[in-house]
């Protein structure tokens, strides 16, 4: 989608600090981090939310999990722990309508995040 912010980042049409990219998934640093390490892991194929995804997306969703672990290792937070989060739909405060997974780490995060993230 030409008007999707994340699609434009994936295609290199918008600048981003890319942590990882392959043919299925792109990971990049959030521009408004809510933790010392805040990276978004995004399937390259556009879907508006996790609710739209199904069996046909199994490979890319599996790759998302692999990349979350890989990026946590790269960032040096795998051993101390990290949080993964997916906001699905407006009531969950999903702002960018492209399925994405947040990786948050780098400090103790507590039982809940104090700030909303998209």
Q: What integer pLDDT is reported at residue 2 of this predicted model? A: 75
**DSSP-assigned letters across all residues of 54-78:** -GGGHHHHHHHHHHHHHHHHHTT-T
The domain tally of the chain equals 1
Q: Average pLDDT of 75-100?
A: 96
Domain that holds residue 75: 5-105
Is residue 58, in this structure, part of any structural domain at all? yes
Is residue 110, in this structure, part of any structural domain at all? no
Q: Which residues have a catalytic role annotated?
A: 100
Q: Average pLDDT of 14-26?
A: 98
pTM above 0.95, yes or no: no
CATH of the domain at 72: 3.30.428.10
- For residues 26 and 42, the answer to whether their CB atoms sit within 8 Å is yes
């Amino acid at each position: 989608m030409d008007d999707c912010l994340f699609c434009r980042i994936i295609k290199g049409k918008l600048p981003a600090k890319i942590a990882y990219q392959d043919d299925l998934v792109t990971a990049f640093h959030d521009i408004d981090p809510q933790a010392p390490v805040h990276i978004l892991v995004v399937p390259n194929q556009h879907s508006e939310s996790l609710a739209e995804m199904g069996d046909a997306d199994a490979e890319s969703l599996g790759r998302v999990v692999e990349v979350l672990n890989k990026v946590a290792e790269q960032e040096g937070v795998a051993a101390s722990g990290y949080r993964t989060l997916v906001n699905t739909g407006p009531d969950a405060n999903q702002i960018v309508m492209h399925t994405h997974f947040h990786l948050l780490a780098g400090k103790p995060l507590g039982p809940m995040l104090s700030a909303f993230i998209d």
